[in-house]
Structure 1
């Protein structure tokens, strides 16, 4: 029998029992759809958490933990192929008292190399990177921290948070600001003053609660600031500067390799890849559990396929006997019934995939509005949450499980059909 004839044979018998086959396909569809939608929740939550992590910090960043007296071998680190930039930011145990157009503030200083910051892709909301020693970059909220004496007095006396309504409202780019060093323990700044030009403003922090009012200046000022501090305080401070080192790779794919090599060198490091690995391991187990639970639904639907195929064999006993009498082999008969059970599984799986994508789309559209209404728009604002995500790998896994279970469910009835006695089958009344 040709393959085309086998398909026609299966199609004819399916059309004879449309209602029964339809209900069986519906059961297979519901089981497979439940498996996909349930597992898609795990994929959706994992995708949301990964995006949250990657948005909250530089994805190519590796932080090295070092003690104050520890010196890093930067030449050895820079020799690694994956390293794109080494940014060492030095914080001073003192602040800069700034004066601009009758406004003032007192903010932290960060000494850095702007060449390395540029390689590390320091993002600015406006302006450019400094090219001269007297050019600086300020934090995104630096302008709002510049207050007049009257505004500062109102702010100190007020119990409400009015800082968002105060501060410098114009652009700081190109403005010349006067600065002087002021230790945190003193009420007044040192008499030495320097004029700096603001050429850049950092971008808005990813976390809304984080306030960036720092001042970034070239690291060449370190010796000068230390000299002024010692001259005015008349004492040296061994812990005047604190340096943090962050390494940036050329891409996210190189973070893991660079992290491992730095650990081999004896450094204590942390990178986003380690956090992502922990999340991936957790969600791998979580998704396997969801797929296992969903597979139970598919197994339940297999009972319907088994019953349908068993009834089909019973109803076609005489027909099977005729086929055997004219020379049909047991393998051919078994193949015909397996093709019928496979057809039920394939159709059910195809419908399940379509339904699952529709349910996933509706869930990602409706649930955010429901959660937003329940929690309040303000608390849910800015949160992009994926409730359901269906990658192609999930579709493949679910299809293999669904079609495989359908084939297994039809195997026993198909084997029974090959063992039907020809004489008894032909004696059966029509």
Structure 2
């Protein structure tokens, strides 16, 4: 018997029992629909994550802390000095576009005219390096949710600090607002006092009072918007006040270094080189891998659920094919009497099982595509409203994934129909012909 004849017989049987065919195929369709949606969502999430990290400049930045990298997750992090020699090594990396090194401290309070500011983080920078990396500037410029819609420059009023200007300070826009100042241009050139005090129960040391001239105001869309920025020489004085150690940066090194690489694809290798130097790094690759890992776990659980639905639907296929064998017992006897072999009889029922799988898969894919149209719009609107991106679609259905799903459905239903098909093949022709 030819393959086309088996297909014709399978389709004729399906047409005769439309309702039973519908119920059997529905279970398969639900399982396939879930599988397709899961694959579509998972593939879309991976593409979105990849594009997001590759197209956002801020993900090209690697933060290096003055902590010693340890292979053991349980061990305490030990401070490791970041000195000028390390900075030179980082600058010599071919993948590095630019870097900045900073030192942190704290001031107890500040004064500007008749206004007083509370405790503030003090950032010491090397004016010979950039204060804001190009990646940071480009990230703000492309951020549609930024607070200052009309100004994307890092300095919203005044100018930055030049090399050797130890008497100049940059003040964060957010910090000035806390002091009750909103006219940022009015503070440029004014005297700004930075006061550092030791706790009275620890030391009776007189406060350190440093007076600066405000050079500029830092845009609230950038880092340090709630801090003040001074030169490294000044930060050394503040840290010397607290620790008693002279030449603080020379002896203790920088608090952290931010490295901007030329391309996102170079982030992982560059971070590994930095860790080889013995330092702890924070980079976007770790975040991307963490997000992908969580996505895979969620996707795996959904796939397990979809496979369970498919396997349960296979019970319906077994039941339907068993009924088909019972109903066609006499026809089987006639075919055997005409010379049909066991393999031919078995083949007929396996083909019919495969047709169930194909129909269920086709219906499931169509349903999944229809559902994805509405779901995709919801996801795109949610992402665009939160990120300001111009995304047009999220869910993605690769053609090979659809074809694999159809093939999987057909294979599973054929396996489900194997037991009834074997039973049909083993029927005795004499007993079959006598069956009503």
Gapped regions of structure 1 (runs ≥ 5): 148-166, 206-210, 368-380
C-alpha contact (below 8 Å) 2:239/2:248 kept by paired residues: no
1:14 corresponds to 2:14 = yes
Q: Which residue of 1 aligns with 2:60?
A: 60
Tell me how far 1:16 sits from its aligned partner: 0.8
Residue pairs, 1:255-294, within 5 angstroms: 255-278=267-290, 280-281=292-293, 284-294=296-306
Structure 2 counterpart of 1:89:
102
Quote how far apart the aligned CAs of 1:409 are: 0.7
Partner of 2:414: 407
TM-score, normalising length: structure 1:
0.67
2:232 — aligned with what?
Answer: 222
> In the alignment, what sits opposite 2:219?
201
Greater shift after overlay, 403-412 or 300-309? 403-412
CA distance in structure 2 between the aligned counterparts of 1:171 and 1:357, rounded to whole angstroms = 54
C-alpha contact (below 8 Å) 1:98/1:104 kept by paired residues: yes
> For structure 2, which runs of at least 5 residues remain unmatched after alignment?
67-78, 141-147, 198-205, 380-384, 389-393
From 145, 161, 177, the counterpart of 1:144: 177
Question: Residue 131 of structure 1: CA displacement?
Answer: 6.9
Task: Indicate the RMSD between aligned Cα atoms, in angstroms.
Answer: 5.0
- Alpha-carbon distance in 2 for matches of 1:177, 1:348: 76
Q: 1:150 is matched with which residue? A: none
Displacement after TM superposition at 1:46 (Å): 10
**What secondary structure is seen at the aligned counterpart in 1 of 2:133?**
helix
Q: Is the CA contact (8 Å cut-off) linking 1:337 and 1:410 kept in structure 2?
A: yes
The residue number in structure 1 matching 2:210 is 190
Q: Distance in 2 between matches of 1:231 and 1:41?
A: 55
2:345, 2:424 within 8 Å by CA — same for their partners in 1?
yes
Per the TM alignment, residue 419 of structure 1 is displaced from its structure 2 partner at its CA by: 3.2
Q: Return the offset for 1:305.
A: 0.5
| Aligned position for 1:246 | 258
How far apart are 1:302 and its partner, in Å? Answer: 1.1
Tell me which residue corresponds to 1:121. Answer: 136
Offset of 1:307 from its aligned partner?
1.0
- Look up the match of 1:153: none
TM-score norm. by structure 2 comes to 0.66
Hey, what's the Cα distance between the residues in 1 that align with 2:403 and 2:229? 51
Tell me how far apart the structure 2 counterparts of residues 104 and 296 of structure 1 sit (CA, whole Å).
66
Q: Is the 8 A contact 1:36 1:390 kept in 2?
A: no
Match of 1:29 in 2: 29
CA distance in 1, matches of 2:10, 2:238: 92
User: 1:11 & 1:398 partners in 2: Cα distance?
Assistant: 22
Aligned equivalents of 1:182, 1:131: Cα separation in 2:
18
For residues 183 and 175 of structure 1, what CA distance do their matches in structure 2 show? Answer: 18
* Aligned-partner SS, 1:115: coil
Distance 1:365 1:275, change over 3 A: same
Q: Which residue of 2 aligns with 1:317?
A: 329
Aligned with 1:300: secondary structure?
helix
Rounded to whole Å, the distance in 2 between the matches of 1:226 and 1:285 is 46
- Summarize the Cα distance change of 1:350–1:142 in structure 2 as closer, same or farther, 3 Å threshold: farther
Do the aligned partners of 1:96 and 1:109 also contact (CA within 8 Å) in 2? no
Q: Does the 8 Å contact 1:36/1:294 carry over to 2?
A: no
Contact 1:42–1:290, Cα closer than 8 Å, also in 2: no
Any conservation in 2 of the 1:190–1:232 contact (CA below 8 Å)?
no
Q: Is the 8 A contact 1:85 1:120 kept in 2?
A: no
Count residues with an aligned counterpart.
381
Partners of 2:99 and 2:133 within 8 A in 1: no
| Local SS of the residue matching 2:59 | coil
